[in-house]
Amino acid sequence: MTGADVLLWCNPHNPTGRVWTRDELHAVATLALTHDVLVFSDDIHADFTRTERTSYTPLALVSPELWERELLIHCASPGKTFNTAGLESAAIFAPPALGQALEEAKRAAGLHNPNYFAIPATIAAWTDGDKWVDTLRQRIDANLALAVDLLHTLLPAAHITDPDGTYLVWVDAAAYLPHADTLTAAMDEARVAVSPGIDFGSEYGSYFRVNVALPPADLEDALERFCYCLNTHATSPITPTFSSSTEHPA
């Protein structure tokens, strides 16, 4: 971290879904304190953690010193959990001087007029949403298990990350992506969109990210269609074993 001004930190990590342990957070905080680096912690996927996996811990709890030395900005949002990104409301916890600077920057950028529903919807979600979130987490957990199992079956030569959190599955599909445009061709043919790994860095061209936040039957159908098309484009196609009676493109 030598020479860095800011560390952009994401907890849980996107796209791998890694929920950082207290030890890992402590190591990051120690580094930031040593090198006097401001940590911008984006925790907007924090509600999506899985039972019997690492539980989510905010960095400020592990290192109050980071907060006291004004080296931490913490970001929360109802956007992912309650599917309210369109309302454009979020919460940023910042030490006083930084908070003032952020407030001024927000006003200068004209981002200080939330729409009529944004604040009441955020308060309602964060005040009364507990039961809904509990059910949502169960549903996402089941969808992640379904997606990871199905991907192992349909793409046996891929490396699939089984996430601790988020609603995303990160897949290294190098064996199935012989050309740069193979992923796009498979998406077009299957009529299923995944996030291309290249969006996360030039070295991730062989990866893709799947969002599992949809009804299980649709998730299964989409994964089967997509993996079928990916297999047909691979240099050495691997015959997938389909687990449902869904029809696939010829």
- With b for 16 or more beta-carbon neighbours within 10 A and e for fewer, the 59-72 pattern comes to bbebbeebbeeebb
- Whole-angstrom CA distances from 137 to 49, 117, 188, 214, 223 are 7, 25, 31, 13, 21
216-233 and 130-154 helices cross at what angle (nearest 10)? 30
Nearer to ligand PLP, 10 or 25 (CB): 10
Kindly report the backbone phi and psi dihedral angles of residue 115, in degrees, each rounded to the nearest multiple of 5, phi listed first: -70, 170
The distance of closest approach from Cβ of residue 242 to ligand PLP in the complex, given in angstroms and rounded to an integer, is 31
The distance of closest approach from Cβ of residue 80 to ligand PLP in the complex, given in angstroms and rounded to an integer, is 7
Nearer to ligand PLP, 208 or 228 (CB): 208
Q: Are 169 and 144 in contact (CB under 8 A)?
A: yes
| Residue 218: how many other CB atoms lie within 10 Å | 9
Q: Are 153 and 241 in contact (CB under 8 A)?
A: yes
Nearer to ligand PLP, 80 or 248 (CB): 80
Q: Does 10 bind ligand PLP (CB under 6 A)?
A: yes
The distance of closest approach from Cβ of residue 156 to ligand PLP in the complex, given in angstroms and rounded to an integer, is 29
- Kindly report the CA angle at 169 between 40 and 148, in degrees rounded to 5? 150
Count residues contacting ligand PLP (CB under 6 A)?
8
Q: Figure out which of the listed residues 1, 4, 6, 85 binds ligand PLP, where binding follows CB under 6 A.
A: 85
Q: Does 122 bind ligand PLP (CB under 6 A)?
A: no
The distance of closest approach from Cβ of residue 233 to ligand PLP in the complex, given in angstroms and rounded to an integer, is 27
The distance of closest approach from Cβ of residue 246 to ligand PLP in the complex, given in angstroms and rounded to an integer, is 29
Nearer to ligand PLP, 83 or 244 (CB): 83
> How many H helices and E strands in the chain?
8, 8
The distance of closest approach from Cβ of residue 20 to ligand PLP in the complex, given in angstroms and rounded to an integer, is 13
Interatomic CA distance for residues 133 and 117, integer angstroms: 20
Q: Figure out which of the listed residues 9, 42, 57, 224 binds ligand PLP, where binding follows CB under 6 A.
A: 42
Nearer to ligand PLP, 61 or 91 (CB): 91
Q: Does 14 bind ligand PLP (CB under 6 A)?
A: yes
Nearer to ligand PLP, 44 or 219 (CB): 44
Strands in 91-93's sheet, in edge-to-edge order, are 6-10, 38-42, 72-76, 91-93
Q: Which residues bind ligand PLP (CB under 6 A)?
A: 10, 14, 42, 44-45, 77, 79, 85
